[in-house]
Chains A and B, each alone.
Chain A
Amino acid sequence: MISKDLVIIGGGPAGLCAARMAAEAGQSAILIDRNAKLGGQLIKQTHMFFGSEKQYAKTRGIDIAKKLLDDVGSYPELIEVWEDATVVGLYPDKVITVLKQEKYLKIQAKAIIVATGASEKVLAFENNDLPGIYGAGAVQTLMNVYGVKPGNKIIMVGSGNIGLIVSYQLMQAGVEVVSLVEASPNIGGYKVHAAKLRRYGVEINTSCTIKKAIGKEAVEKVVTIKLDENWNEIPGTEKTYEVDAICIAVGLTPLTSLLSMIGCEMKYISELGGLVPVTNKYHETSIDNIYVCGDSSGIEEASSAIVEGYLTGLIASSKLGKKHPKFAELVDDFQSQLENLRNGPFGAKIRQGLKKLGGSVDA
C-alpha cells in the first residue's frame, strides 16, 4: 500500500488547478487521471474562453490546458502524475484502489479531492443507437484531438454553449451543419455563439426536437418535429434532413459515483445537473477531508472549475498542515472571482442550485 497525504482524482481544469495550488502551498500530492493525457475537456476546446484574465479569458481551451499542465509540471518533486490510471474504488477509511497498467494498486490517503468532471446526458428517440450518432464530447475528441471528421452533414441537438460551440467547430472543420434544434422556446447558450452560427447560414430551430433517426447500417436521415408550449409534438410539422451524423448536446450530469461509494451525503439538484455531494463553504463533503470541485460538484463553465480547483487545493493543503503563505488573501480572491463569474443572468441557475445545496455562491 502506498501512503500519500493528498490524492487528487481527475486531471481536468479543476484537478490540475487543485494540484498546482497544493504544490504552491508545499503540499505533495498524487494526481490521477484515467486518460492518457491530462487536461480533461480542455484538450479539445479550440475556442477562446470567456471570463476574466484570472481565468485565462480569450485564451483557447487547448492553450489553457498547456498552461495548467506547465504549472503542475513545474513542481515535479511535489506532484506525482499518474496517467492512464482509473480510480475504481474509494473507501471510508480513505483507501483508494487504482487500476494502472493492468494492476490494482492501493493508496492510503489522508485527504482526497474528487475532480472527476461530468458525463453527457443522452436523448431518447427512435433509432438513437445507429452508428453516426455522437455526443458532443465525442465529436470534439474526433475533430480536435484526432483530426477526424465525424461526418459530412450533421444535425446538432441542443443550443447550450456546448451545442453552439461544437456546431461552429464542425463548420470550421468543413462539416455542413444542416440545422440546430432546441426543444426550449429560446436558445440556451450565449447569443454571441448563436449569432456566429446564424451569420454563417445555420438555421436555429427552437421549440423543435428530434423525432427519429433513419438508416440501415448508419444514420442516413433525421426527422425533426416542432413542439408546442407544453412540449408536446405538433403533428404535421415533421421535417426530414439527409445527414450522416447526429450530434447530441443536451447537457451534462456530474460524475459522482466515487463520492456515493464512499458514503458522502448526496442531494439531487436539477440546477446543478443531477446528484451532487453536499458540501460546506470550503468544498468539503460530509466526510472529513474529502473534497469535491469542478463539474463533479455541479455543472458550470470551465472558468469556474479552474477557480474552484485553486480554492479547494488551497483549503485541502491548509487542513493537512501546509498553509499557503498568502492563504487568506487567495481564498478571498478566489471566492470573489467565483461570485463575479456567477453574478449575471447565466449564473442564476447555479446560484439557485448552490442555495438549495446549502452552500454559498462564492464556494
Chain B
Amino acid sequence: MLERDGYATHEQISSRFPKVELLVKPKAVIECYENIPCNPCSTSCPFNAITIGKDINNIPQVDYDKCTGCGICVHSCPGLAIMVCEVLADKVRFKIPYEFLPRPIENEVWQAVNRKGDVIGEALIEKVSLNNRQDRTALVQVLVNKEFIYEFVTIRRES
C-alpha cells in the first residue's frame, strides 16, 4: 500500500481515472493522493482544466470537459504524478514523464512497468518530446495493451 510500500491500490488508482467513455480523447490522470502544498498542475494548465483553489494543499480536480490531454501538466508536476491516458480500439496510449538517460527513441519497444516496479508487458514508444519549456523532463508517448490501463505507469529499458 501507498503509506508503507509506496504504491497505490487498485481502488486508489481507478478513482483518479475518468470514465472509460471519456478516454476516447486523451485526458490527464492525476495520481495526487495527499494534501501537499503544491499547485503547478493547476497554474500551468492553459485550459484552466485543473482546479486546486486558494489552499494549495487541496487535491487537484480535473474538469474533463476542458482537459485536452495536451500533457503540459505532466512535465509541470514536481511529483511526476500525472500522465495522459487515451483509449484506442485495443490499445491504450499514455503520455508519461521520463527523467532518465538514455531516453527512449521512437519505434523502440521497452518494457511496460506497473506501480510496484514489475514488468507487465511491452510498451511501443510512439513519440519522445523534450523542449525547453519541459525543463529536462521528457514526455514519452507509448502504446500498451488495453488490459493494462490501470496498471501501466512507466517504462524500463530491456537490460
Contact = CB atoms under 8 A, between A and B. Distances in A.
Interface stretch (A102-110, A263-271, A289-297, A341-349): A341-349
A239 B4 CA distance: 18
Contact of A199 (B36, B39, B113, B137): B113
Interface stretch (A47-55, A225-233, A273-281, A319-327): A47-55
A27 to B, nearest CB: 30
Interface in B43-71: 43-44, 54-57
Given A48-B135, A192-B32, A341-B56, A200 B38 contact: no
Given A50-B79, A52-B56, A341-B56, A195 B37 contact: no
Given A53-B43, A198-B115, A204-B6, A191 B34 contact: yes
B5 A204 contact: yes
A51 B4 contact: no
A344 B33 CA distance: 13
A30 interface: no
Given A172-B99, A199-B154, A340-B55, A50 B8 contact: no
A56 B117 CA distance: 31
B81 interface: yes
Interface residues of A, number: 42
A197 B76 CA distance: 19
Contact of A200 (B8, B78, B79, B156): B156
A192 B154 contact: no
A290 B102 CA distance: 50
A53 B5 contact: no
A64 B3 CA distance: 30
A49 B78 contact: yes
Interface stretch (A1-9, A136-144, A182-190, A243-251): A182-190
A66 to B, nearest CB: 13
A322 B80 CA distance: 43
A48 B137 CA distance: 10
Given A58-B40, A195-B2, A190 B7 contact: no
Nearest to A206: B4
A197 B6 contact: yes
Contacts of B86: none
A218 interface: no
A198 B35 contact: no
Nearest to A59: B135
Given A53-B39, A343-B56, 12 more contacts: A53-B40, A60-B135, A192-B31, A198-B5, A199-B114, A199-B116, A200-B117, A301-B37, A344-B35, A344-B37, A346-B36, A346-B57
15 contacts: A48-B137, A52-B56, A57-B38, A58-B135, A192-B80, A192-B81, A195-B6, A198-B115, A198-B117, A199-B7, A200-B113, A200-B117, A340-B54, A340-B56, A346-B35
Closest A-B pairs by Cβ, 6 of them: A192-B79, A344-B57, A194-B6, A198-B6, A201-B117, A48-B78
Interface of A: 47-53, 57-60, 63, 171-172, 185-187, 190-202, 204, 206, 301, 303, 340-347
